[in-house]
A and B are shown apart, each in its own frame.
Chain A
Amino acid sequence: MFYLDDIGRYFLMLKNTFSRMTKGSVLRSLIFKEINDLVIGSVGIIIFLAFFIGAVVAIQTALNLTNPLIPKKLIAFASRQSVILEFAPTFLSVIMAGKVGSFITSSIGTMRVTEQIDALEVMGINSLNYLVFPKIVAMLMYPFIIAIAMFIGIFGGYVAGVYGGFVSSSEFITGLQEEFIPYHLVYAFLKTFLFAFLLATIPSFHGYYMRGGALEVGKASTSAFVWTTVVIIISNYILTQLLLS
């Protein structure tokens, strides 16, 4: 019953987020600020993670290809498929649930504790629209950093595979181009858009409805990370079943 209550409140929050819009000029500056905080601020860590994930996938694949009949270009194929289908959209979103999610929960939670949300409400401002809507719009840019992550991940695989002596450069490039299914990119970006929405809204929910003081802000950040991860993993399974099988 407790979880059903929370699920209901989450959807009511979404409904209120899209009602009584904040003044356009104010909203525009808030959206740019959120893009900077949530998306641009995550580019560095995303590039770092994606490079090494791609590199590790290439090495793992190479080390498991012991049969000389299996062509080495399969290293590139495995790197491409793993990075595009799962590692960039899903694995990095789970990490972003920690980085972006806890930032959103703690910033909104602190505003709740220090009565800043009450101040907005007293002024007649729809605090949900003011606080959550710009984050949702900003996270529409999230697929762009996931696209960068896909490129960097495959590049990491190339560096590890070629400079590690596992595969030649031409074989790797051939493997990358072989049996490429463009629909896999559609699938990857569809789920990235959904994860972006979840990354903006679930932590906002935990921050907005928290009660208490500084300790509770910390607890809310933790539970926001856990629940965002759980929902991302479950929706990843459902989307994969629906779109790929």
Chain B
Amino acid sequence: MIEVKNLHKGFNGEEILKGITTSFKRGKTNLIIGTSGSGKTVFLKCLLGLFAPEKGSIIYDGKVYSELDEEEQRGLRESMGMVFQGSALFDSMTVEENIMFPLRMFTKQKKAEMLDRANTVIDRVQLINANKKLPSEISGGMQKRVAIARAIVTRPNYLFCDEPNSGLDPKTATVIDNLIQEITEEYDITTVINTHDMNSVMEIGEKIIFLRYGNLEWEGDKSQIFKTDNEAVTDFVYSSNLFKKVRNAQLKGL
């Protein structure tokens, strides 16, 4: 579980996050949504420890990040997995090497053991015949699968995803969303996903927080988001023509 208390963060005198307080439960897919410039990425980078908050605290299963020494912070980071928007695979390494990379860095396992573990997660994310290929030789959807496999290969306690289905076709995006949700339940990890894709919200939004101008505007789940009377959330949710038509049809009783 991750608890965030009164989190503030700014750059060059401009306050980006203005006192966010929320929590993300273990075994659930938690979504951060909001328009561009709402502070989603900064919030996610604070959760990852890449940005130090100016005020407030982030608590990972009872451990306050800012109170840990450097060694403990590094240890905590090793228990985090991250799926980047552009996958961020190491382009000089093969798929297999990319997935084994965290094991090579942080474990004393022999190569055969690492390969065995890598193959387990490769099977889990359903990557077929890609082990020896370079990231540039596989599709965007497969790159996301590799990124997920790399993120979970060390059995992390926390999984963070920054727009995991951006640039993917709707069908592949749904497959990736479902894969993340299945892994979250199976590994019993705390997953936080940064997205502005309403399909993801509908598919896997077990907890959703809506950020606006650096404030936590609304929180709830996928069943509540379509019923809320919060104007900013409604504007965001129904900004797509498809959702507008669905809503109009609902209002007309069709």
Question: Smallest CB–CB gap between B143 and chain A, Å?
Answer: 11
Q: Which residue of A lies closest to B107 (CB)?
A: A23
CB proximity to B under 8 Å, residues A81-133 = 110, 114-116, 118-119, 121-125
B interface size (C-beta, 8 A) = 21
Please tell me if the beta carbons of A118 and B77 are within 8 angstroms of each other in the complex.
no
Contact B80 A122 (CB under 8 A): yes
Q: Of residues 138 to 160 in B, which have CB atoms within 8 Å of A's CB atoms? A: 160
Q: Chain A residues near B91 (CB, 8 Å)?
A: 110, 114, 116
Known contacts A121-B50, A124-B75; decide if A115 and B84 are in contact (CB<8 Å).
yes
Q: Is the CB of B84 within 8 A of A125?
A: no
Indicate if the CB atoms of B88 and A115 lie closer than 8 Å. yes
Q: Which of B65-103 contact A (CB under 8 A)?
A: 74-75, 77-78, 80, 82, 84-86, 88-91, 102
Kindly list chain B residues whose C-beta atoms are within 8 Å of the C-beta of A69: none
Query: Which residues 118-156 in A have Cβ within 8 Å of B in the complex?
Result: 118-119, 121-125
Rounded to whole angstroms, the CA-CA distance of A124 and B77 in the bound complex is: 5
How near does chain B come to A211, taking the closest CB pair, in angstroms? 13
Chain B residues in 8 Å Cβ range of A123: 77-78, 82, 102, 105-106
A110–B88 CA distance with the chains assembled, in angstroms: 11
A215 within 8 A of B: no
Contacts of A121 in B (CB 8 A): 50
* Structural contact, B105 and A26, CB atoms closer than 8 A: yes
Residues of B within 8 A of A118 (CB): 50, 84, 88
On chain B, the residues within 8 Å of A115 by CB distance are 84-86, 88
Q: Which residues of A contact B48 (CB under 8 A)?
A: 122
Closest 5 CB pairs of A and B: A124-B77, A115-B88, A119-B88, A124-B74, A122-B82
Q: Which residues of A contact B (CB under 8 A)?
A: 20, 22-23, 25-26, 110, 114-116, 118-119, 121-125
- Chain B residues engaging chain A, CB cutoff 8 angstroms: 48-50, 74-75, 77-78, 80, 82, 84-86, 88-91, 102, 104-106, 160
